């Protein structure tokens, strides 16, 4: 709930504060508040400096606020919800305790629920929050959560040219570079092969095995993907 104006609270956990600041600095998100209003302060939630909402790391540090609220366009909010779920599934965002968004409550407060999130089988329950509410684990390590989201969001903007996904054909000597969690190969890493004895797929596979390299290169952020896009051409046979 909004309450203290657009300022991060001095009560915030340092990691939460970094995320609050990133929201405030971004033109496509509106910070709604972090310390709860009177109604919140009367309770015991993560919007208060005396939360009793136990997470995987135990109880929140007293005197620190562990949640913040913000909103963005519906399209961004849908994308954000999916991105968080993919990050969970990839075993990341361990410092996020739960998320409310689009009237859904995604709770990974317990180890059992964290495992469900990783398996992609976690179910949401109803939440009164349509805006985004993030609650962080005690001693959260997700201080760059919002920055990572922005990098992902902006990397996916139409203004950034996205290589056309192409299916790999048998016999082609190219490695695939793709975003982790996505099944779309987005570019081809072809020009690393300089050895003449690599003539076909079989040679390539043997070379990769010998060199201890993966055929599919997975990157974590759209920004990393863009770096490959600079040095790597599209699949020349596509």
Q: Which residues bind Zn ion (CB under 5 A)?
A: 69, 133
Smallest gap from residue 11 Cβ to Zn ion (A): 15
Say which residues have a Cβ less than 8 Å from residue 125's Cβ, sequence separation at least 6. 104, 105, 107
Task: Closer to Zn ion by CB, 31 or 178: give it.
Answer: 31
Smallest gap from residue 89 Cβ to Zn ion (A): 24
Nearest to residue 33, comparing CAs of 8, 62, 63? 8
Task: Closer to Zn ion by CB, 71 or 133: give it.
Answer: 133
Task: Closer to Zn ion by CB, 133 or 148: give it.
Answer: 133
Task: Closer to Zn ion by CB, 138 or 235: give it.
Answer: 138
For the purposes of burial, counting CB atoms within 10 Å of the CB of 223, is it exposed (0-12), middle (13-18) or buried (19 or more)? middle
Smallest gap from residue 38 Cβ to Zn ion (A): 14
Smallest gap from residue 40 Cβ to Zn ion (A): 8
Smallest gap from residue 199 Cβ to Zn ion (A): 59
Tell me the Cα Rg of the chain.
21
Q: What are the φ and ψ backbone dihedral angles of 133, each rounded to 5 degrees? A: -120, 125
Q: Retrieve residue 204's tokens.
A: 């390539």
Task: Closer to Zn ion by CB, 131 or 148: give it.
Answer: 131
- Position with the least CB separation from Zn ion: 133
Smallest gap from residue 22 Cβ to Zn ion (A): 17
Q: Do strands 132-136 and 96-101 pair parallel, antiparallel, or not at all (unpaired)?
A: antiparallel
Task: Closer to Zn ion by CB, 134 or 217: give it.
Answer: 134
Smallest gap from residue 215 Cβ to Zn ion (A): 44
Task: Closer to Zn ion by CB, 40 or 85: give it.
Answer: 40
């Amino acid at each position: 709930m909004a309450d203290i104006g657009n300022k991060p609270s001095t009560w915030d956990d340092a990691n939460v504060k970094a995320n609050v600041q990133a929201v405030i600095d971004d033109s496509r998100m509106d910070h709604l508040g972090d310390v709860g209003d009177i109604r919140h302060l009367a309770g015991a939630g993560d919007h208060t400096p005396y939360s009793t909402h136990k997470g995987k790391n135990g109880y929140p540090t007293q005197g620190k606020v562990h949640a913040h609220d913000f909103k963005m366009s519906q399209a961004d909010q849908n994308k954000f919800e999916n991105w968080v779920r993919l990050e969970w599934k990839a075993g990341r965002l361990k410092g996020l305790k739960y998320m409310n968004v689009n009237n859904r409550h995604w709770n990974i407060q317990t180890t059992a629920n964290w495992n469900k999130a990783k398996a992609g089988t976690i179910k949401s329950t109803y939440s009164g929050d349509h805006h985004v509410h993030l609650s962080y684990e005690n001693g959260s390590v997700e201080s760059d959560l919002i920055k990572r989201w922005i990098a992902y969001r902006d990397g996916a903007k139409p203004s950034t040219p996205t290589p056309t996904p192409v299916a790999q054909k048998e016999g082609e000597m190219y490695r695939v570079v793709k975003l982790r969690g996505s099944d779309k190969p987005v570019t081809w890493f072809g020009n690393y092969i300089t050895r003449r004895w690599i003539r076909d797929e079989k040679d390539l596979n043997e070379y990769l095995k010998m060199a201890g390299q993966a055929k599919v290169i997975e990157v974590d952020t759209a920004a990393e993907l863009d770096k490959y896009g600079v040095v790597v051409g599209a699949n020349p046979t596509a």
